[in-house]
């Protein structure tokens, strides 16, 4: 090859190297941050996909979605606790089902009966309530002892009630795990022992249940291991299933 051509080729290569170098230097700070953000999102996505993160995904959901940039300190603390935990969740949970306005009482009853018949539900007590004096805001509180992994419990709850409420929203279909120390207070809450600011809802719920021929509470046999639960069936004539045909159509 002609010496001049060889020299020209070397000059072009040097020029390309310099251009590439300059190009890297000319990348703006915003572009650098954007690249880092994309890499971070991808890393978080891959982390969420791991089997170890299955339960964390459920607990970190916000409005049915995973946060793009969760608080790192909270996530690290969660991982440490999860790695050291022998039992990650208490054996009882309180489920609140806030149904859509167009959902009927009969539809809700059908879903609650379906859930309480599942093999994972060992013992339970539940009640039907409303939130307002005009008898609107139908919902159900269900306190139960479950026999499965917490992840499987949430999956079953969401699968059962997705047709009557927004199952992806934690304020609409709310699942709270209940420790042994708090079990008695949650049981009393189901039975109507509530704060003064909820008195309006308590009285409205009583009228709603009377109007629709509903018992104050319904419980399993045997009942939950709470003080007074053994007398519940006698005091309130509770049964483990609501007969839909006996409910008055309001």
Which sequence spans correspond to the domains of the chain? 3-84, 92-246
Task: Enumerate residues 6+ apart whose C-beta is below 8 A from 164.
Answer: 97, 99, 100, 103, 107, 108, 111
Please tell me whether residue 186 adopts helix, strand or coil conformation. Answer: helix
Instruction: Give the span between the Cα atoms of 220 and 61, in whole angstroms.
Output: 31
- Total-model pTM: 0.62
Highest mean pLDDT among 126-130, 187-191, 243-247: 126-130
pLDDT tens across 197-243, in order?
A: 888 899 999 999 999 999 999 999 888 887 767 655 434 434 445 65
Min mean pLDDT across 22-31, 47-56, 237-246 is at 237-246
Exposed/middle/buried for 224, CB within 10 Å: 0-12, 13-18, 19+?
A: buried
pLDDT tens across 151-180, in order?
A: 889 999 999 999 999 998 999 999 999 988
Instruction: Give the span between the Cα atoms of 159 and 176, in whole angstroms.
Output: 17
pLDDT of residue 100: 96
Query: Do 79 and 57 touch, CB atoms closer than 8 A?
Result: no
Please tell me whether residue 139 adopts helix, strand or coil conformation. Answer: strand
pLDDT of residue 149: 86
Highest mean pLDDT among 1-10, 62-71, 73-82, 139-148: 139-148
Instruction: Give the span between the Cα atoms of 62 and 41, in whole angstroms.
Output: 16
């Amino acid at each position: 090859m002609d010496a001049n051509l060889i020299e020209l080729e070397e000059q072009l290569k040097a020029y390309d190297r310099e251009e590439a170098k300059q190009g890297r230097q000319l990348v703006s700070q915003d572009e650098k941050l954007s690249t880092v953000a994309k890499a971070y999102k991808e890393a978080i996505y891959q982390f969420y996909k791991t089997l170890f993160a299955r339960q964390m995904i459920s607990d970190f959901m916000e409005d049915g979605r995973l946060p793009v940039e969760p608080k790192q300190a909270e996530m690290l603390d969660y991982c440490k606790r999860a790695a050291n935990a022998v039992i990650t969740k208490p054996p009882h949970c309180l489920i609140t089902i806030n149904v859509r306005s167009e959902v009927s009482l009969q539809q809700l009853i059908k879903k609650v009966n379906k859930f309480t018949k599942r093999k994972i539900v060992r013992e339970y007590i539940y009640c039907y309530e409303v939130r307002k004096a005009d008898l609107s805001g139908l919902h159900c509180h269900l306190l139960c002892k479950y026999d499965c992994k917490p992840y499987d419990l949430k999956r079953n709850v969401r699968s059962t009630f997705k047709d009557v409420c927004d199952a992806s929203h934690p304020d609409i279909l709310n699942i709270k795990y209940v420790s042994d120390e708090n079990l008695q207070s949650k049981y009393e809450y189901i039975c109507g022992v509530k704060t003064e600011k909820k008195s309006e809802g308590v009285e409205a719920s009583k009228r709603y249940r009377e109007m629709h021929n509903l018992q104050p509470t319904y419980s399993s046999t045997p009942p939950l291991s709470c003080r007074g639960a053994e007398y519940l069936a006698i005091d309130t004539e509770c049964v483990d299933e609501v007969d839909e045909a006996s409910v008055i159509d309001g």
